[in-house]
Amino acid sequence: MREISFDTETTGLNPRGGDRLVEIGGVELINHVPTGNAYHVYINPQRDMPIEAFNVHGLSEEFLSDKPLFAQVADAFLEFVGDATLVIHNAAFDMGFINMELERAGKRVIPNSQVIDTLEIARRKHPTGPNSLDALCNRYGIDNSRRVKHGALLDAEILAEVYLELIGGKQTALSLVPDEELASGGGGENGAAEFGQLGPFSARPRPKPLAARITAEEFAAHKAFVDGMGDKALWGKYVGGPSED
């Protein structure tokens, strides 16, 4: 299963009111594990940078002036995303900007069905809040000391850690089969992964018991030792005989 922990920075809050994207960051996860593959780009918004936005991310109009336009990076961005699920904190905000820019560039938009909103997950899991990214880092003991200002790639990296905690920690499953098989009930005759799945399953007996690893002489010596404990010895209930198989 491929997911992308994702974040953006912008010139403001309103994608339909003239605000634009200025930075995109994405971190690839395969089966909830970061692969080291990432996407990052600064974008020239072709407009001024309001001081309120600059104070958040520190990206000035001068710094962004020689960066590519979104239309120039749209194809590379869509290629990186592919059919992966985007994991976003407060997804409505980021997707509003991404899809606005994609529309302007004449590209396909990304449907909501391809997005997971970690803010919604956090609100369900921690209904009393707070559920900002910084608050969740504090809750889960995630180091966010580098987050002096917002940055799309850094925030995507931090969000990946938060996301794993929200869905159950770094070991959400110990499965040796693809998540798709687990979701569909595959992975063995019992409709579950035969090894490693954390979840209900029906154990099957071995068709043939394993051969004993002790010799007949060793078993006889052990039985004599147990017999010496008397009739009430607990071991007497469990001493049988070595397997003939």
Which pLDDT tens digit goes with each residue over 95-127?
Answer: 999 999 999 999 999 999 999 999 999 999 999
Max CA separation in the chain (angstroms): 93
Whether the CA torsion 4, 10, 14, 19 is positive or negative: it is negative
Residue 245 confidence (pLDDT): 45
Q: Which CATH architecture has domain 2-169?
A: 2-Layer Sandwich (3.30)
In the DSSP assignment, the letter for residue 228 is: T
> 202-237 in b/e burial notation, b at 16+ Cβ within 10 A?
eeeeeeeeeeeeeeeeeeeeeeeeeeeeeeeeeeee
| Distance of alpha carbon 70 from alpha carbon 1, whole angstroms | 28
Domains of the chain by residue range: 2-169, 171-200
CB 212 within 8 A of CB 242: yes
- Residues contacting residue 225 through CB under 8 Å, at least 6 positions apart: none
Which residue type, as a one-letter code, is found at position 34? P
pLDDT higher than threshold 90 for residue 214:
no
Residue 198 confidence (pLDDT): 36
- Residues contacting residue 202 through CB under 8 Å, at least 6 positions apart: 190, 192
pLDDT higher than threshold 50 for residue 173:
no
C-alpha distances out from residue 87 to 45, 58, 95, 157, 180, Å: 24, 24, 11, 11, 18
Cis peptide before 130 (omega within 30 of 0): yes
Residues linked to residue 34 through DSSP beta bridges, in sequence order: 29
pLDDT higher than threshold 50 for residue 196:
no
Catalytic residues: 150
* pTM higher than the cut 0.75: no
